[in-house]
Amino acid sequence: MSENKGVWVFSENYDLTLEMLGKGRKIADMLRTELVAVLVGSNVQEKANDLIKHGADKVYLVDNPALERFQSEAYLSVLHNLTANYKPDILLIGSTKNGKPLAARLATRLETGCIPDCSRLSVDEKGRLIGERITYGGNAVAKVTFRSKPQIATIPGRAFAKLEPQDRNGEVTKLDVKIEEPKTEVVETKPLETSSVNIEEAKVIVSCGRGLEKKEDKALLEDLAKILGGQLGNSRPLAEDRKWFTEWVGLSGHKVKPKLYVACGISGVIQHVAGIRDSKMIVAINNDPEAPIFEVADYGVVGDLYEILPALTEALNKQLQ
């Protein structure tokens, strides 16, 4: 086991790679080992220097036209080849819809463990990686560590911060890797219209649930969000069932950490609450006094959101004059 060394990061998502380098740098320093970024793609060489600026000591570059777009078997074979040859101690993989299956399959090939969606990472006295993740539908946080190497953890977006870019020295090694025959074919991709502002970074979020009757009524929330300097959020059913939005807050959606989260017409089911736990302050407006959201709120109002929201907007307007 002791032959494994180095902290590696990989994600097909560049921002996430930089975020993982930020945390990876700290772990590598603690373990007094090197931080390696794995850069995979076609004509991506010019990014190598930027990865070093963001904390990497080394970049393993695999540049091949066949790797222009993410393809599971192709990317898997690259990572498998590199990790089997160079034996990292720790490998952080971005927990995207493509990255997570990749991590799971790589862990299976390497006969090692994988801890998914770690929102916190630390190292114990034996130098083992400890990952913290939400489980049981948001009811608990599990602390998990490894019995095998490499230690593979997947990391969600915005769990860790990028480092400020610095002029540093690093080594770029270009590698040629045999690419495996794909088993699946991407026949079409269409861009997804996502909100241009990242909800994870919002300072204030005004969020609606099924208590909102019509999509147009979100104007009530927008008015409040405007005066609070915030943006809108929503529970999953408004995206999944009603298709009013494409994204949502919660366990299976965005984990947010605003100063203020205003939950309007949201019952506060555990899977939703799992996404808002890190909010500094939670305000709940719900017409059901028994709604579980009141158990996790700092301020609660039992009332109809159609009455309370306009009144609140007006009151804030007056008081902020």
Partner 1 sequence: MKRIIVCLKQAVDVSQLKVDPKTNQLLTASAPKKISDFDKNALEEAIRIKEKLGEAEIYTVTVSSEDAKAVLREALAIGADKAYFVNDPSFQDVDTSATAYILTEAIKKIGEFDLILCGEASLDSFSGLVGSRLAELLNLPLIASVRKLTVEDNTVVGERTLEDAYETVKAKTPALITVTREINQPRIPSLMMIMKASKKEIVTWTATDLNIQKEKVEGKIDVIEVLAPKTERKKIMITGENKEEIAEKLAKALIQEGVVGR
Binding footprint of ligand FAD on the chain (CB under 6 A): 209-211, 235-237, 248-253, 265-267, 269, 271-272, 275, 285-288, 291, 304-306
CB-count exposure of residue 105 (10 Å: 0-12, 13-18, 19+)? middle
Q: How far is the CB of 40 from ligand FAD (least distance, A)?
A: 30
Residue ranges with strand state E in 3-46? 7-10, 35-41
287 binds, among partner 1, ligand FAD, none (CB under 5 to 8 A by kind): ligand FAD
CB 174, min distance to partner 1, A: 28
Torsion angle, alpha carbons of 65, 69, 73, 76, to 10: 90
- Find out whether 261 and 205 touch, Cβ atoms under 8 Å: yes
Smallest gap from Cβ 65 to partner 1, in A, equals 20
The nearer residue to ligand FAD, 62 or 269, going by C-beta atoms, is: 269
- Strands 204-208 and 129-135 turn out to be unpaired
Q: Residue 130 is inside which H or E element, if any?
A: strand 129-135
Residue type (1 letter), 247: E
Tokens of 209: 């649930």
Of the pair 125, 290, the CB lying nearest ligand FAD is at 290
| Residue among 170 and 275 whose Cβ is closer to ligand FAD | 275
Question: What track of x and - describes contact with partner 1 for positions 103 through 132 (by CB under 8 A)?
Answer: xxx-xxx-xxxxxxx------------x--
Extract the tokens encoding 152. 């593979």
Instruction: Report if residue 142 touches partner 1, rule: CB under 8 A.
Output: yes
Q: Which residue is nearest to ligand FAD (CB)?
A: 250
Please say whether the beta carbons of 189 and 149 come within 8 A.
no
Residues within window 3-62 making contact with partner 1, judged by CB under 8 A: 13
- Shortest separation between residue 43's beta carbon and partner 1, angstroms: 20
